[in-house]
Structure 1
């Protein structure tokens, strides 16, 4: 059945060799405003995160090489998760919580965070890029640690709605790779009680109003899981209950928000079956779901190197879908 759906939904794409991207380009360029940094950084937790900070962690960045000559940092050993805020010049009241990937090894800052924030904020959205704690580093929340941060992020965004000029009923979550797993957990477990309330913001709902999952890790079950994400999330020898509890496809609720799923059929890291499983599970639960599968693209493309490729269409597909879902107005 999974292969049948894949065959029916493949979109023709062609691979293009990577090329350096200019600092500025045509109006429809995806990599824009290279020098732009967040307008504000907001801490998720007023004191320390739930359960306190494990000994021995030291939050720091590493630089990653890439063929585009672009900034490409990864954040390791996160101890103070934050929201990096990108405000639009012409806001339409919408908001996006972006959750970058990194296999639960680190958080990819620019490639799956700031670059998308710059593009979507140009189209009227106030964008919040989340850094989050990694589950294998001794946190009291264990595998629920990233979900704690994601729930808290949605509540903090809603608490700031008046200050930031957004509509608290028009907030989208967008996750990439392992960040797609975090976003998927938030989409299906938004009302799970995973941390004690810390302030008035925690009385607000954590449910996103729409969810975009980009080449997401969905299942922690073999053979289709991403091995590193699975091990970093639930360990090398998890129980079947742990696998099921932290797989997105196992129990989506009927009141989950509408979902947009994007993947490449030739993804060598996170098999496309993850996207197919998610689509089938949300449909079976009666949740509106849209699935887009490109024939080529590999894994981790984000917005890079796709200006002359069919993948170039994906951000605009999100805008059109989000407008139909009531998130965007422009």
Structure 2
């Protein structure tokens, strides 16, 4: 009986590994050693940041990679609906996807909570670019996609890349090659900001300098990556003006951008379709932009 159970467990284990392997998923610690900016606090949960890699079938791989940043108001992470589901959809398009479970801002666990999420986004870009050859990825086709507060993080990565918040002795580019921003938090200005996201990242009484620094429509330059934007006009959580202002700033600086606005869809529709399949429109944009042949 004992031998039978051992054999059964072995068969189950091998089957489990085969299934995991067939999906092309890998769970990866974001930092090989000590996590930067981390504070050891008694009783405080210190969740380690990580990437879950989803690889497409080799025969359909385009060489494009996208780092996916789930939303959650910088207070939680909507990992399945704005992470896993999206990664699997990207795989069907031949795109490698990396779901980023970034650290949530916390004074208890971080010495400077305002840079914690950005450190993780920069480290994710660095890691994927470093391992591009091993993962069958073109190092010049690495984008970042973010939803809601994850869109704020993605747009921060795309507008603050010249200031490394992580160790980067190798001088690897931390600039995403393109951005996809879905109902993103962009601005921390009064009247535009999602109050919860702003409070979580910069506190209840941020300085004018902090508000300006993390109002990413004010940080756009000619070097900001090309951007694809999606938003619903009836979004009651994150005003549509966040995407409009960012698009205007991109246009002003000569950055290629495409904006799709839907009259209805509210907030958090993820892969749901207010009118059509926005991810398919995004694929058309990637083809037209030369990211996908």
TM-score bracket, normalised by the shorter chain, equals 0.7 to 0.9
Q: Secondary structure at the match of 1:142?
A: coil
Contact 1:104 1:134 in 2 (8 A): yes
Partner of 1:319: 283
Count of residues paired in the alignment: 268
Q: Which moved more, 1:115-124 or 1:39-48?
A: 39-48
Paired residue for 2:45, among 53, 58, 65? 58
CA contact 1:210–1:322 (8 Å) conserved in 2: no
Native 8 Å contact 2:237 2:267 kept in 1:
yes
Q: Distance in 1 between matches of 2:179 and 2:81?
A: 19
3-state SS of paired residue (1:212):
strand
Give CA-to-partner distance per residue, 1:140-189, whole Å, 9 cap, x none. 23211111111110010011111110100011111000000000001111
Q: Residues of 2 paired with 1:237 and 1:227: CA distance? A: 11
Q: Is 1:116 aligned with 2:86?
A: yes
Of 120, 126, 129, 2:96 maps to: 126
The runs of 5 or more residues in structure 2 that have no matched partner are 1-21
Please give the root-mean-square deviation of Cα atoms over the aligned residues, in Å: 1.6
**SS at the partner of 1:164?**
coil
How big is the shift at 1:193?
2.6
Is 1:328 equivalent to 2:259 in the alignment? no
Task: Name the structure with the higher helix share.
Answer: 2
SS of 1:108's equivalent in the other structure is: coil
TM, length-normalised to structure 2: 0.87
Which string of whole-angstrom CA distances, capped at 9 and with x for unpartnered residues, describes residues 2-45 of structure 1? xxxxxxxxxxxxxxxxxxxxxxxxxxxxxxxxxx9761011111
Secondary structure in 1 matching 2:291: coil
Gaps of 5+ in 1: 1-35, 60-78
Match of 1:145?
116
1:94 to 49, 52, 64: 64
Q: Do the aligned partners of 1:50 and 1:141 also contact (CA within 8 Å) in 2? A: no
SS at match of 1:323: helix
Q: Which residue of 1 aligns with 2:11?
A: none
TM-score norm. by structure 1 comes to 0.78
Aligned: 1:296 with 2:250: no
| Bigger radius of gyration among the two | 2
Cα deviation for residue 194 of structure 1 reads 1.8
Q: Which aligned segments of 4 or more residues in structure 1 are displaced greater than 4 angstroms?
A: none
